Amino acid sequence: MEETPRFTTRRRMLQAGSLAAAASLGAASQARAQDKIAPEMVMYQTTPKDGNKCSACQHFQPPNACALVSGTISPNGWCGVFAPKA
Ligand code: SF4
């Protein structure tokens, strides 16, 4: 059964709230690698989304790490706390 647009919007709002909370948690604890956010918590994927990718994110740490998300991060990846470089 298809979701109604209203439900989809509400679900997206809830997801956005969860991502914001996860981002705050990650920002507060980014000094230690074990305190980073797990990739699955921020919907990390190894491919770009809507033209955005890790190499263009202010949290990306070349060649393959992230200040907020744990594990190996692809320059072509993306996650829900993507923040474009200024
Ligand atoms: S989009 Fe940004 S915050 Fe997310 S994994 Fe990539 S570099 Fe890290």
- In this structure, the residue with its CA closest to atom 4 of ligand 1 is 79
Pairwise CA distance, residues 48 & 3, whole Å: 25
**Domain span including residue 57:** 5-66
Give the count of domains, the chain. Answer: 1
Structure tokens of 45?
Answer: 């994927």
Rounded to the nearest whole angstrom, what is the distance from the C-alpha of residue 8 to the centroid of ligand 1? 24
- Over residues 33-53, the mean pLDDT reads 94
In a domain, 77, yes or no: no
Q: Does ligand 1 lie within 6 Å of residue 68's CB atom?
A: yes
C-alpha 41 chain-centroid distance: 8
User: 31 pLDDT exceeds 50?
Assistant: no
Report helix, strand or coil for 79.
Answer: coil
In a domain, 54, yes or no: yes
In a domain, 74, yes or no: no
Give residue 63's pLDDT.
98
Q: What predicted TM-score, i.e. pTM, was given to this entire model?
A: 0.67
Give residue 21's pLDDT.
61
